[in-house]
Amino acid sequence: MNIIAYLDFNKNELKKVAFEVATLANQIKSQTNANIFAIGINVDTEKANELKDYGIEKLINIKSDLLDKYSSDAIANSLFQFAQSINPDLLIFPANSHGLELAPRIAAKFNAGYVSDVIDLIDDNGNLYFKKPVYAGKSIITTQIKSSVKVISIRPNVFTAKKNPTNSLDIQNFESNISINEVKAKVIDINKNIGKLDVKEADIIVSGGRGMKAAEHFNLIEELASVLGAATGASRAVVDDGWRPHSEQVGQTGKTVSPTLYIACGISGAIQHLAGMSTSKYIFAINKDKDAPIFKVADYGLVGDVFDILPKLTEEIKKIKG
Amino acid sequence: MNILVAISRVPDTTTKIIVGSDGKTIDNNNVKFILNPYDEFALEEALRLKEKNGGNVTAISVGNDLNTETLRNALAMGADNAVLIRAEGEFDSYFVAKNIADYAAKSNPDIIFLGKQSIDFDSLQLPSYLAEFLNLPLVTIVTKIDINGNEVTAEREIEGGKEIVSTTLPCIFSAQKGLNNPRYPKLPDIMKAKKKPIEEIQAISIDNLIEIIKMEIPSRSRLNKIFGNTDEDIQNVVKLLHEEAKVI
């Protein structure tokens, strides 16, 4: 069995989700004796050494000047050139903004079935089943891919990266021979939200809802988030009211998140919000209404006024953080 | 400027999902279906481009009679034409993409718009499939589009920021929330939309590549340790987060 593990590793940008993809590939390898081909693009070889901690022994470094700026067509074409040479059985991508564009492209090129946002993989005597949330997590389907080539993307933060050190990393360069005409759309600039963590990537999220009463009160959310090194999130209601940017919205028409800790402040727990955060490992709710639906899914809760509780809570957590 | 907008019919966001008797799909009883919210952003952007540049907007959907209701929503918002690709039974995104690509290959639109995902299966795969099948440029999850002649600059949302993407028409966009504020159809337009014709095409048959084995409702037991709001309560919760859950 040949597995392609697309790491979304470009130059020296190596994100946590790359180690999660590596971990899953190794998990399958240990069960089926598979060959893993991890993929990076124009990688910094020094940085690539970090992959050794996560069991990667072979990295295919796809090289081309045309791939310096992200372009989903150019990367997909280059990756396909390599993939055809090894007849892959399974291709694993991260379900992030790049992987979600690339994985279905590769699936289309192979006429392969693709399951996105996978949260669990079951190997039943060589038959692979993939679980994925649907309806924003209100339900979960178990699927089977009927084509011989199978493509999946995995939800970040779900497959915990496990250290599994190897002694050597073999980096093989693969020269892509794409032409400039294959770069149909390309990134010309990136605007980062400086100093802000994204809800999709954060271990802890502090979210605020209508109970925060006004946009300016979100400083309480931001202060708590800052002490915890957390991302700030928001309910649909406050995004629709323009209090918070839509990139922070958690729920069915926002982002589905799976942090280690989700802190819901002044959020009652509308069904579409709960769908988006119900896979959080721990949920901590603060709300003045003891009957709010959010408490039904909460591990910990404080019933009371957020304006009274949040400053005290932030102080208490500061004490622990030293 | 001719624009094709692919739309889908999905359960309303307030829907409580119940698994149907087949154990694989949802129980549709008492479920209110709506035009996929992300498709509304796509359609709105298409209508604005048409209002600025002229041309026409065609809404297209793959499904059965129930999808005609969704197409009429699009007509009421201002789409000029509606096309139903008739298909019965269960079909996957690959099937939908092949059928929409087949139509687009004949009608050659300047732009194909889609919602970034439909809020039922949340797969975000249709735009990429179309780009591959039609060999067109693609920008997904867009929050801003500037078109100047054939030159396109678009903003797409990524983790913790935006990518600015440069491309050319014809191309495919998938719309993210924030791209615009979709209009509400006016009553006379809703009435007129009821009388507009909907073109029907029989779907080309393609084998599904994905099979759903089962559907289940996630159940996760929670600790449910709920306290009041005294200083001691707050200290207690912090202690539990630190020592029991070990998350802070």
Q: Please say if the pLDDT value at position B194 is more than 90.
A: yes
| SS3 label, residue B172 | strand
CA geometry: angle A126, A98, A106, nearest 5 deg: 50
Q: Are B175 and B247 in a shared domain? A: no
pLDDT tens across B6-45, in order? 999 999 999 999 999 999 999 999 999 999 999 999 999 9
Q: Are B195 and B83 in a shared domain? A: yes
**Measured between alpha carbons, how far apart are the two ends of chain A, in Å?**
49
Q: Please say if the pLDDT value at position A322 is more than 80.
A: no
- What integer best gives the mean pLDDT of chain A? 95
Q: Are A212 and A166 in a shared domain? A: no
Asked, for residue B60, whether it belongs to a domain, the answer is: yes
Asked, for residue A115, whether it belongs to a domain, the answer is: yes
Which residue in chain A is spatially nearest to B172 when comparing CA positions?
A185
Q: Please say if the pLDDT value at position B241 is more than 90.
A: yes
Asked, for residue B210, whether it belongs to a domain, the answer is: no
**Mean local confidence (pLDDT), A43-62:** 96
Asked, for residue A188, whether it belongs to a domain, the answer is: no
Q: Are B118 and B222 in a shared domain? A: no
Q: Are B231 and B172 in a shared domain? A: no
Domain harbouring B94, CATH code: 3.40.50.620
Half-sphere exposure of A231 (CA within 13 A, CB side): 29
How sure is the predictor about A32, in pLDDT bands with cuts at 50, 70 and 90?
confident
Asked, for residue B246, whether it belongs to a domain, the answer is: yes
ipTM of the complex: 0.94
Q: Are A211 and A178 in a shared domain? A: no
Query: Which residues of A are less than 8 Å from B155 in CB distance?
Result: 191
Please answer whether residues A209 and A236 qualify as being in contact, where contact means their C-beta atoms are separated by less than 8 angstroms.
Answer: no
Q: Are A175 and A214 in a shared domain? A: no
H helices of B25-178, in order, are: 37-53, 65-77, 93-107, 126-134
pLDDT tens across A285-298, in order? 999 999 999 999 99
Q: Are B14 and B79 in a shared domain? A: yes
Interface of A with B in 241-280 (CB under 8 A): 245-247, 249, 251-254, 256, 260-261, 270-272, 278-279
Q: Please say if the pLDDT value at position B85 is more than 80.
A: yes
Asked, for residue A308, whether it belongs to a domain, the answer is: yes
Domain harbouring A149, CATH code: 3.40.50.620
Q: Are A218 and A170 in a shared domain? A: no
Please answer whether residues B43 and B113 qualify as being in contact, where contact means their C-beta atoms are separated by less than 8 angstroms.
Answer: yes
Residue that terminates a domain, selected from A148, A182, A216: A182
Structural domain including A85 reads: 2-182
Determine contact: B133 vs chain A, CB below 8 A: yes
Asked, for residue A197, whether it belongs to a domain, the answer is: no
**Above pLDDT 90, what percent of chain A?**
92
Q: Are B156 and B180 in a shared domain? A: yes
Determine contact: B132 vs chain A, CB below 8 A: yes
Q: Please say if the pLDDT value at position A37 is more than 80.
A: yes
Q: Give the number of domains in chain B.
A: 2
pLDDT tens across A179-215, in order? 999 999 999 999 998 878 889 889 999 999 999 999 9
- What integer best gives the mean pLDDT of chain B? 96
Nearest to A264 by CA among A297, A291, A242: A297
pLDDT at position A125:
85
Q: Are A85 and A158 in a shared domain? A: yes
Q: Are B13 and B64 in a shared domain? A: yes
Asked, for residue A190, whether it belongs to a domain, the answer is: no
Structural domain including B112 reads: 2-202
pLDDT at position A285:
98
pLDDT tens across A207-254, in order? 999 999 999 999 999 999 999 999 999 999 999 999 999 999 999 999
How sure is the predictor about B142, in pLDDT bands with cuts at 50, 70 and 90?
very high
- Reported as type and span, the H/E element at residue A144 is strand A139-145
Other C-beta atoms within 10 Å of B65: how many?
A: 9
Q: Are A138 and A11 in a shared domain? A: yes
Instruction: Find where tokens 């440069």 sit.
Output: B166
Q: Are A40 and A154 in a shared domain? A: yes
CA distance B77 to B186: 8
Interface test with A, best of B13, B40, B214 (most A CBs within 10 A): B13
Q: Are A223 and A275 in a shared domain? A: yes
Query: Which residues of A are less than 8 Å from B37 in CB distance?
Result: 253
Give how far A141 is from chain B: nearest CA, Å: 4
Which residue in chain A is spatially nearest to B152 when comparing CA positions?
A185
Structure tokens at B118: 């439909």
Query: Which residues of A are less than 8 Å from B141 in CB distance?
Result: 97
Asked, for residue A64, whether it belongs to a domain, the answer is: yes
Which residue in chain B is spatially nearest to A201 when comparing CA positions?
B159
Q: Give the number of domains in chain A.
A: 2
Asked, for residue A88, whether it belongs to a domain, the answer is: yes
Q: Are B120 and B230 in a shared domain? A: no
By Cβ distance, the residue of B131, B157, B163 closest to A70 is B163
pLDDT at position A253:
92
